[in-house]
Chain A
Amino acid sequence: MRTYVASAGLLGIVLTLVGPIVGGGPRTRSPVPTSILEAGPPELADVVGTYCVRCHNERRMTGNLDLAGFDPARAHESAAVAEKMIVKLRAGMMPPPGARRPAADTLRTLVETMEAVIDEAAATDPEPGVRRFQRLNRAEYERVIRELLGLEVDAGRWLPADTYLGNFDNLSAAQGLSPTLLEAYLRAATEISRIAVGEPGAVTKSVKYTNPIEVSQHAWDHLEGTPYGTRGGMVVTHDFPADGSYVFSFETLFGQGTGFEDLDLSVDGDGVARLQLEHNGDRNVEIRTEPIFVRAGQRSVAAAFVRKIEGPYEDRLSPFGWSFVGGEDAQQWADYGITALPHLADLMVTGPIEPLGVSASTSRRKIFSCYPETSAEERTCAEEIVADLATRAYRRHVGEEDVAGPMRFYEQGYADGGFEVGIRTALQAILASPSFVFRLEQLPPDVEEGERFRIADADLASRLSFFLWGMGPDEELRTIAAAGKLSDDDALERQVRRMLADPRSEALATRFASQWLRLQDVKKNQPELWLYPDFSGQLGDDMVRETQLLFDHLVREDASVLELFTADYTFVNERLAAHYGFTGVTGSEFRRVSYPDETRRGVLGHGSVLLLTSMSARTSPVLRGKWVMEVLMGAPPPPPPPNVPNFEETASASEGRRLTTRERMELHRANPTCNACHRLMDPIGLALDNFDVVGRWRVREDGMPLDTRGTFYDGTELTTPADLNGVLLERPISLTRNFAANLLAYAIGRRVEYYDQPAVRAIVRDAAEDDYRMSAFVLGVVRSDAFRMMRARTTAQEPDADPLESLVPRSEER
């Protein structure tokens, strides 16, 4: 009843501020709590009438909203609308700048009253929501296979790309089923079972790996995973199907007339060959090793050039940018002599030549928990292996039938090729099973339609581990769930804390935070190489890593979520440090460093965020402002009106001179239609304009001094990133509720709807009392009804579908 107490407390404030009673009126859906009715302040309806309805009326429909007759005291009756209002009011965006505003106290009372009314109404019958089961998406599939079999796989080889919904790739409403998907799971199961067990009778075949364009081969650039003292090259994870000899061959690009180069080859870090190549003006040179003996299993193969140049090197172009790959143009770069040294283009592994069986490998150790010494032991051992694999793969306790099914495949495989093929076939069946690929959740017996119910402990364990680790539960969590102890609040909290402390909770940074902050878009912006010649794919990766490491650090230290905005430190390696202009960092390892000055604080000073909110050739205060409003505050600006060209895409020059960003902004501010929203977004982005496209500090743009002054929508003057952080942190409720809502959506695999907002507020209220610690948010999510409960329904439609939706015209109705 914590929620209730909290809202009662708020009501106290409401009562003293606005005074007494107003009459009842018709009740439509949920029962109106009497305490609220008694407190119902007449003035608040007037406030809405006076300040909101001027734009939000039937005629103007600003923001598609008509608030005429809206009574905040009965906000729970139109909670979907009220929740939209609450977001804008909490962010301080409404009434908009320039419009008449009531006193700050009145606005606060308005929003607090609506929250209290809705929360109290919701407390009587909280809506846990309903959704279809989730399935393993690409990212989860890879993690699950890594945990189950110790293999690195690229799920994109089989599974169709995941459809994003909201910010995330794991929402069940976007996880449609199709024959394509089913077949993909089957193919993955077939292939992975072979890789995992190994193929003693493997035929000789060639596998070619092509170097991605963005891997810099520059004279000084070391590639992670290659030996020290080398430059460029490539690193691949290769599945060696059997013990035997393998030939490695390479093709290089460019480097005409550069003389001799030494190419170093290593397998799992052990040097196995060094080859010399000489360019005699040939464009493409192929070199190969003698057959080299390698044992079966998944191994890292690294090839790189021995670094010969320590001093300055005239090679201004990092091999990055689409122009490099587009047909004939690509060669021109080499012809111009800009990139002179040879690039490693691809690597081919051919083998096994004369396979000699399969010896121990990581994946085999994960599979063969026993190994029969006589044929009499084979079946017993197979049953042990199958039971163990099925338990781990199905994320639950397995019964006899769960073992009997895959054992039939063992028999089938055994008949074809003995014990090993039997195990492989059983594994293939397990990986294809609906219990593995789907995250099915049980409906307890005797639950009636429309009833709320607690999900089973095993399912709760699974939700928990996919939330925190991006994979299924480990043995401890499975055991506790199987014993029925996870329903206990203390036991649940202990597990959450244990799992947060486990390194696998890095998934919160690499999966959750990366998607929430949209870090996948970093790689989509290719900075123009003539403007940013030092940019490389490795640097882009480093930027993403920096942000992930900060978030991961906050999880590990159980620090405040607000430290995302205030951190006076960051995580860099030598390359990123040099890019930012920090000194004293050497090597490719990331480490924590304190910022040398006050220009950067938190994620708004991260190259990742600054790059993903830029255009390829210039910064975009609009995109940056929009990103802050949408991603950090959860209050996206309204869409541009129809038939107005997207400002960001339009011309940027006048009379032969490039306009500065500021000049372009002033231009479109002259248009009142544009100005209505851009006055919100632009000052936010301008305050960050001292950071260029790739996140370096600058004071001039195109030779003109930068003018980053602007006015935040609440009237505060903004000039610097620090000013921006300041105004954001004045609204911790916006930041933290938005964070909690995103965390909740990711955790429960469905969009957070208006009826989830009471839960979101409860999470944030509790977290506030615990200094907004990461664990407080995580625990709040885990303890929420949405996470632990479901409602039995026959359809996955939202409980309160928008009545307007039936009006959508369809072709046949036209």
Chain B
Amino acid sequence: MNFLTGKHISRRSFVRGMGTTVALPFLDAMVPAGRSWHDPTRERRFTRLLCIEESMGCAGGSEWGDARNLFAPAGVGRDFELGVDSQLRPLEAYREYLTIVSNTDCRMAEPYRAEEIGGDHDRSTAVFLTQAHPKQTQGSDIFLGTSLDQLHARRFGAGTALPSLEMCIEGIDRGGGCAYNYHCAYTTSLAWASPTQPLPAIREPRAVFERLFGAGDTEADRAARRRTNSSVLDWIVEEVGRLQASLGAVDRTAMDEYLTYVRELERRIQLVEERNSSGREREMPEAPSGIPDSFEEHMQLMFDLQVLAFQTDMTRVISFKTGFDQSNRTFPDSGTTKSIHGASHHGNVPADIMDFNRINTYRTGQLAYLLERMKSTMDGDGSLLDKTAIVWGSPMGDPNLHNHRRCPLLLLGKANGALEGNLHIRAPKGTPMANAFVSLMQGIGHDMKSFGDSTGTLALSYPRGGFSTTGSGA
């Protein structure tokens, strides 16, 4: 809980800041142990879903890297080792929460027409949680699919203040926009509420915080703001009705869409009001400020907010984009000063593959902070980590080739028993990643038969009698 503990945490580094902040009280002091913010009597069985995208594959996606088990361990089932060079080594301590799924493909990110060849970076993000093929366009006629997280939000998020929350780490103002005639929404949005509706992700920790808890100096202030906003929303509905008469058809359609969001917001405010009138006292943590320059600090801040959002049951569904394709960001703490995109084009030179692996390892290592926070946060009869499914993966396999085969995928947490952990599943060659998603979704309460380009399911548990041989898993 970095941002909640005091001032000296980040003193050793400069942190970009424009927003406001104050010395932050310690959250756990405000939410007494064993007492969660959601009413246990109304509690339904639900599994929280957190989907994290890693943008450009991994060093283990190359033949050389795979042979050295940089991502996929040699052994399958419970009998796997995370060697010194394994990108997953930093997660060894959380092995019982770790389900490694190797060898699945994201073929919907591959080109299907001559014009699409080369646009792998511009398609990848769109494909990760939809496993659908983006329609190549830069117009308003974008078309993809509904993402995994949004399906979960529809099923389990309706009763929460935020059906889903979208977060990201990097800015999206690349000069010239996006390439290969792909709309930038495909490269920036993981979450798609429908095939035509990408959801924007928030990068500013403070904005995430204010979405969760509102802005205001005191609870009375916050309540007053909610009341005013509530009547402003009523009035907006009237205004839209008045203005629509003079609009063209295209604009009228957009305003109708806008009205559905107005109602969604009204519902949200009402939910918070109801919860607040339940009479249980609580204090608000204070908002973090600015976007830290440091990747690690930014990640930890965002993880803190995710834990907070789950813990308070403000939302049950989060998607989190931790980088952008072709980003030239560097991670000096990883042990190399190469940029991530530069390092990803390692040209199959072993030393260069290892440099990329250093970045992979460093970035994967950030998860340890999240896992520790979730493990130590109690939620009723278990930890948050027991009750959450975390999907971590990349829609790219070997970024040196821009391919989308044998992509890295991890499932973390126990997902209310749907995941047993301490498992390496090596999918048979050619298994779509979507198969693993179908199984996961079935495990967490969905009656899902197929998803994206799925061809079936991929068992996520240890088979009775063990795996038959290494090499062909489930």
Are the C-beta atoms of B172 and A164 separated by less than 8 Å? yes
A157 vs B117: C-alpha distance when bound (angstroms): 38
Which B residues are CB-close (under 8 A) to A793?
248-250
Given contacts A157-B207, A441-B251, contact A797 B115 (CB under 8 A): no
Are the C-beta atoms of B139 and A797 separated by less than 8 Å? yes
Are the C-beta atoms of A208 and B20 separated by less than 8 Å? yes
Q: Which of B193, B201, B347 makes the CB contact (< 8 A) with A645?
A: B347
Interface centre among B8, B13, B215 (most CB of A within 10 A): B13
Asked whether any CB of chain A lies closer than 8 Å to the CB of B408, the reply is: no
Asked whether any CB of chain B lies closer than 8 Å to the CB of A429, the reply is: yes
Which A residues are CB-close (under 8 A) to B118?
639-642
Asked whether any CB of chain A lies closer than 8 Å to the CB of B81, the reply is: no
A515 vs B173: C-alpha distance when bound (angstroms): 10
Which A residues are CB-close (under 8 A) to B347?
645, 650-651
Binary per-residue interface labels of chain A (150-187) against chain B in the complex, 1 for a CB within 8 Å, 0 otherwise = 00001011101111111111001110111111111011
Q: Count contacts between A and B, CB distance < 8 Å.
A: 343
Report B257-300 residues with CB < 8 Å from chain A CB.
257-258, 261-262, 264-265, 268, 289-290, 292-296
Given contacts A132-B251, A526-B330, contact A412 B228 (CB under 8 A): yes
B242 → A minimal CB distance (Å) = 7
Asked whether any CB of chain B lies closer than 8 Å to the CB of A272, the reply is: no
The stretch from B176-184, B309-317, B372-380 touching chain A is B176-184
Are the C-beta atoms of B140 and A326 separated by less than 8 Å? no
Binary per-residue interface labels of chain A (46-67) against chain B in the complex, 1 for a CB within 8 Å, 0 otherwise = 0000000000000001001000
A800 vs B23: C-alpha distance when bound (angstroms): 58
Q: Which of A130, A798, A810 makes the CB contact (< 8 A) with B133?
A: A810
A809 vs B242: C-alpha distance when bound (angstroms): 41
Given contacts A157-B207, A434-B236, contact A323 B289 (CB under 8 A): no
Are the C-beta atoms of A327 and B112 separated by less than 8 Å? no
Q: Which of B233, B254, B434 makes the CB contact (< 8 A) with A177?
A: B254
B292 → A minimal CB distance (Å) = 8
Asked whether any CB of chain A lies closer than 8 Å to the CB of B119, the reply is: yes
Report A210-267 residues with CB < 8 Å from chain B CB.
210-213, 236, 251, 253
Q: Which of A179, A283, A345 makes the CB contact (< 8 A) with B261?
A: A179
- Output the nearest chain B residue to A813 by Cβ-Cβ distance: B133
Q: Which of A172, A405, A409, A519 makes the CB contact (< 8 A) with B239?
A: A405
Are the C-beta atoms of B236 and A795 separated by less than 8 Å? no
A428 vs B400: C-alpha distance when bound (angstroms): 51
Asked whether any CB of chain A lies closer than 8 Å to the CB of B34, the reply is: no
Which B residues are CB-close (under 8 A) to A144?
none
Which B residues are CB-close (under 8 A) to A181?
200, 261
Are the C-beta atoms of B137 and A213 separated by less than 8 Å? no
Binary per-residue interface labels of chain A (772-812) against chain B in the complex, 1 for a CB within 8 Å, 0 otherwise = 00000000000000000010111111100100110111110
A378 vs B341: C-alpha distance when bound (angstroms): 62
Asked whether any CB of chain B lies closer than 8 Å to the CB of A463, the reply is: no
Are the C-beta atoms of A184 and B207 separated by less than 8 Å? yes
Asked whether any CB of chain B lies closer than 8 Å to the CB of A329, the reply is: yes
Which B residues are CB-close (under 8 A) to A327?
12-13, 294, 296, 333
Are the C-beta atoms of B119 and A639 separated by less than 8 Å? yes
Report B5-34 residues with CB < 8 Å from chain A CB.
7-8, 11-23
Are the C-beta atoms of A809 and B177 separated by less than 8 Å? no
Which A residues are CB-close (under 8 A) to B233?
186
Asked whether any CB of chain B lies closer than 8 Å to the CB of A595, the reply is: no
Which A residues are CB-close (under 8 A) to B231?
409, 412
Asked whether any CB of chain A lies closer than 8 Å to the CB of B188, the reply is: yes
Which A residues are CB-close (under 8 A) to B145?
810-811
Are the C-beta atoms of B137 and A805 separated by less than 8 Å? yes
Q: Which of B22, B210, B224, B293 makes the CB contact (< 8 A) with A207?
A: B22
Q: Contact residue range for chain A?
A: 35 or more
A4 → B minimal CB distance (Å) = 29
Which B residues are CB-close (under 8 A) to A165?
138, 177-178, 183-184
Asked whether any CB of chain A lies closer than 8 Å to the CB of B442, the reply is: no
A728 vs B249: C-alpha distance when bound (angstroms): 44
Given contacts A173-B138, A331-B12, A641-B117, contact A528 B337 (CB under 8 A): yes
B456 → A minimal CB distance (Å) = 14
Binary per-residue interface labels of chain B (435-473) against chain A in the complex, 1 for a CB within 8 Å, 0 otherwise = 000000000000000001100000000000000000000
Asked whether any CB of chain B lies closer than 8 Å to the CB of A657, the reply is: no
- Output the nearest chain B residue to A751 by Cβ-Cβ distance: B138
A650 vs B198: C-alpha distance when bound (angstroms): 34
Report B112-150 residues with CB < 8 Å from chain A CB.
112-115, 117-119, 130-133, 135-141, 143, 145
B430 → A minimal CB distance (Å) = 14
B166 → A minimal CB distance (Å) = 7
B301 → A minimal CB distance (Å) = 13
A64 vs B115: C-alpha distance when bound (angstroms): 6
Asked whether any CB of chain B lies closer than 8 Å to the CB of A717, the reply is: no
Interface centre among A210, A343, A443, A795 (most CB of B within 10 A): A210
Asked whether any CB of chain B lies closer than 8 Å to the CB of A206, the reply is: yes
Asked whether any CB of chain B lies closer than 8 Å to the CB of A408, the reply is: yes
A326 vs B337: C-alpha distance when bound (angstroms): 11
Asked whether any CB of chain B lies closer than 8 Å to the CB of A273, the reply is: no
Which B residues are CB-close (under 8 A) to A432?
232, 236
- Output the nearest chain A residue to B344 by Cβ-Cβ distance: A649
Asked whether any CB of chain B lies closer than 8 Å to the CB of A416, the reply is: yes
Are the C-beta atoms of A409 and B115 separated by less than 8 Å? no
Are the C-beta atoms of A164 and B174 separated by less than 8 Å? yes
A206 vs B293: C-alpha distance when bound (angstroms): 22
Asked whether any CB of chain A lies closer than 8 Å to the CB of B108, the reply is: yes
A173 vs B184: C-alpha distance when bound (angstroms): 10
Are the C-beta atoms of A329 and B333 separated by less than 8 Å? yes
Which B residues are CB-close (under 8 A) to A343?
14
Asked whether any CB of chain A lies closer than 8 Å to the CB of B345, the reply is: yes
A211 vs B215: C-alpha distance when bound (angstroms): 24
Which B residues are CB-close (under 8 A) to A212?
14, 16-17, 293
Which B residues are CB-close (under 8 A) to A649?
341-342, 344-345
- Output the nearest chain B residue to A345 by Cβ-Cβ distance: B14
Report A320-334 residues with CB < 8 Å from chain B CB.
322-331
Asked whether any CB of chain A lies closer than 8 Å to the CB of B401, the reply is: yes
Asked whether any CB of chain A lies closer than 8 Å to the CB of B206, the reply is: yes
Are the C-beta atoms of B258 and A642 separated by less than 8 Å? no
B294 → A minimal CB distance (Å) = 4
Are the C-beta atoms of A809 and B293 separated by less than 8 Å? no
Are the C-beta atoms of A326 and B264 separated by less than 8 Å? no
B449 → A minimal CB distance (Å) = 12
B160 → A minimal CB distance (Å) = 13
Binary per-residue interface labels of chain B (336-371) against chain A in the complex, 1 for a CB within 8 Å, 0 otherwise = 010101101101010010000000000000000000
- Output the nearest chain B residue to A514 by Cβ-Cβ distance: B175
Which B residues are CB-close (under 8 A) to A163?
172, 184-185, 188, 200
A130 → B minimal CB distance (Å) = 6
Are the C-beta atoms of B21 and A324 separated by less than 8 Å? no
Q: Which of B143, B183, B294 makes the CB contact (< 8 A) with A326?
A: B294
Asked whether any CB of chain B lies closer than 8 Å to the CB of A442, the reply is: yes
Are the C-beta atoms of B255 and A810 separated by less than 8 Å? no
- Output the nearest chain A residue to B258 by Cβ-Cβ distance: A177
Are the C-beta atoms of B140 and A173 separated by less than 8 Å? yes
Are the C-beta atoms of B257 and A518 separated by less than 8 Å? no
Are the C-beta atoms of B265 and A177 separated by less than 8 Å? no
Asked whether any CB of chain A lies closer than 8 Å to the CB of B111, the reply is: yes
Asked whether any CB of chain B lies closer than 8 Å to the CB of A663, the reply is: no
Q: Which of A167, A801, A804 makes the CB contact (< 8 A) with B175?
A: A167
Q: Which 6 A-B pairs have the closest CB atoms?
A: A518-B175, A210-B17, A649-B345, A164-B177, A160-B200, A207-B20
**9 residue pairs bridging A and B, Cβ less than 8 Å apart:** A157-B19, A180-B202, A181-B200, A205-B20, A283-B12, A641-B117, A790-B248, A795-B249, A811-B452
Binding site for B on A (CB under 8 A): 61, 64, 130-133, 154, 156-158, 160-169, 172-174, 176-184, 186-187, 189-191, 202-203, 205-213, 236, 251, 253, 283-284, 319, 322-331, 343, 345-346, 401, 405, 408-409, 412-413, 416, 425, 428-429, 432-435, 440-443, 449, 515, 518-521, 524-526, 528, 612, 615-616, 630-631, 639-643, 645-646, 649-651, 751, 790, 792-798, 801, 804-805, 807-811, 814
